[in-house]
Amino acid sequence: MLVVMKADATSRDIEEVVRVITELGFKAHVMPGPTRTAIGITGNRDAIDSSHFENMHGVAEAIRVSKPYKLTTLDLKPEKTVVRVGDASIGDHDLAIIAGPCAVETREQTFAVAEVIRNSGAQFFRGGVFKPRTPPTAFQGLGEEGLQILAEVRERYGLNIVTEVVDEHSVGLVERYADIIQIGARNMQNFSLLRRAGRSRLPVLIKRGLGATIDEWLLAAEYVMIEGNYNVILCERGVRTFSDYNNETLDLAVVPAVRSISHLPLIVDSSHGAGKNYLVTPLARASVAVGIDGLMVEVNEPTSTRLNNVQELTPDQFMQMVSEVRAIHELIFP
């Protein structure tokens, strides 16, 4: 259920509604908006009697929600959520660019890429330190040593750090060093991990699972938000199809589809959606054209060989891509 407050509702009116929800044994989620506040209710197994709220001072209406997700929906919050990280943001009028190597390998390699990212004007640096790999003998990342390198990148270059967690223990480590927690595609339905991320003070970026529907993706975000963390970013990174031409198939139709359902900001990872270096920039351009809030791309020094990721852009290719996608963004959103 959603309790929609009147435009002139006071903070005391809102607090009273929250008190009633809590006394009924449920959890209240207050979502302020520019014109009115909505309060989502979770924790109920059966329908809630709307008469508890309809006659309360400051309440405009109480709405039953039939969708399986309550907090991610536009019914609760018609205005788009803007996730703010320091002086940067994701979800407003600017195009956020999150870039960096697939994996943090050495301090020298990471700093070299960070300088390129800073010079491009981007404000977010991505780099993996926990690498869930299919072969157990493959490079699994530097762990806390890599996080320390990322913290140095933030200090030296002023970039906000985005990095992936793989279990509840790694969330605690990432909270100490980074600015945004990334939930990878293979962990999109790791519900205990999602709940732990929901108890973090950091924003959470959730990649769509390789075969996940929109509902499953939004319900993953619901797991985070139900714990009280409303700073969630969705990331489309390609789904598994019959195609063997590239790693996954980038589903750009999901962008307007999610826009019609959810207020959460939405970005696209065109590197994983492409799987091949020369496809990354064309897919990035297309992603911006359909109205995304940000791009995530992999950039690395040509001499890097530890992971040999064929979808990573060279620094020169990245700078060219940034120029092109910003021109498209300015044309569509002047």
pLDDT tens sequence across 209-241: 999 999 999 999 999 999 999 999 999 999 988
Find, among 183, 166, 165, the residue nearest to 174 by Cα.
165
Q: Is residue 104 part of a domain?
A: yes
Q: Is residue 236 part of a domain?
A: yes
Classified as helix, coil or strand, 28 is strand
pLDDT of residue 139: 79
Share of the chain above pLDDT 90, in %: 79
Within 8 A by CB and 6+ apart from 320, the residues are: 281
Question: ∠295-299-300 over CA atoms, to 5°?
Answer: 170
Domain ranges, residue 11: 2-63
Q: Is residue 275 part of a domain?
A: yes
CATH number, domain containing residue 236: 3.20.20.70
Q: Are residues 52 and 142 in the same domain?
A: no
Q: Is residue 303 part of a domain?
A: yes
Average pLDDT score over residue span 83-104? 95
Domain end, chosen from 11, 35, 63, is at 63
pLDDT of residue 307: 60
pLDDT of residue 316: 96
Structure tokens at 199: 């108890």
Q: Are residues 173 and 301 in the same domain?
A: yes
pLDDT of residue 227: 96
pTM for the whole thing? Answer: 0.92
**Residue 305: pLDDT band with limits 50, 70, 90:** low
| pLDDT tens sequence across 113-148 | 999 999 999 999 999 999 877 778 677 788 999 999
Question: How far are the Cα atoms of 3, 44, 53, 90 from residue 16, in angstroms, in the given order?
Answer: 12, 19, 10, 32
**Residue 329: pLDDT band with limits 50, 70, 90:** very high
Q: Are residues 56 and 175 in the same domain?
A: no
Contact 207, 266 (CB under 8 A): no
Q: Is residue 72 part of a domain?
A: no
Q: Are residues 183 and 283 in the same domain?
A: yes
| pLDDT tens sequence across 35-68 | 899 999 998 888 888 899 988 999 999 988 878 8
Q: Are residues 256 and 301 in the same domain?
A: yes
Average pLDDT score over residue span 174-194? 97
**Residue 206: pLDDT band with limits 50, 70, 90:** very high
Q: Are residues 247 and 105 in the same domain?
A: yes
Question: How far are the Cα atoms of 124, 159, 281 from residue 267, in angstroms, in the given order?
Answer: 13, 18, 15
Average pLDDT score over residue span 78-92? 95
Find, among 151, 150, 181, the residue nearest to 167 by Cα.
181
What is the number of structural domains in the chain? 2
Burial (CB < 10 A; 0-12, 13-18, 19+), residue 264, is buried
Across the chain, what does the average pLDDT equal? Answer: 93
Q: Is residue 73 part of a domain?
A: no
Q: Are residues 182 and 301 in the same domain?
A: yes
Ranking 37-41, 102-106, 306-310 by mean pLDDT, the lowest is 306-310
CATH number, domain containing residue 46: 3.30.70.1140
Q: Are residues 123 and 59 in the same domain?
A: no
Q: Is residue 68 part of a domain?
A: no
Q: Are residues 110 and 225 in the same domain?
A: yes
Eight-state DSSP code of residue 166: -
Structure tokens at 48: 């809630």
Q: Is residue 77 part of a domain?
A: no
d(C-alpha 26, C-alpha 66), whole Å: 17
Q: Are residues 108 and 193 in the same domain?
A: yes
Expressed in angstroms, the distance from the first to the final Cα of the chain is: 38
Q: Are residues 34 and 125 in the same domain?
A: no
pLDDT of residue 54: 87
Q: Are residues 176 and 299 in the same domain?
A: yes
R_g over Cα of the chain: 21
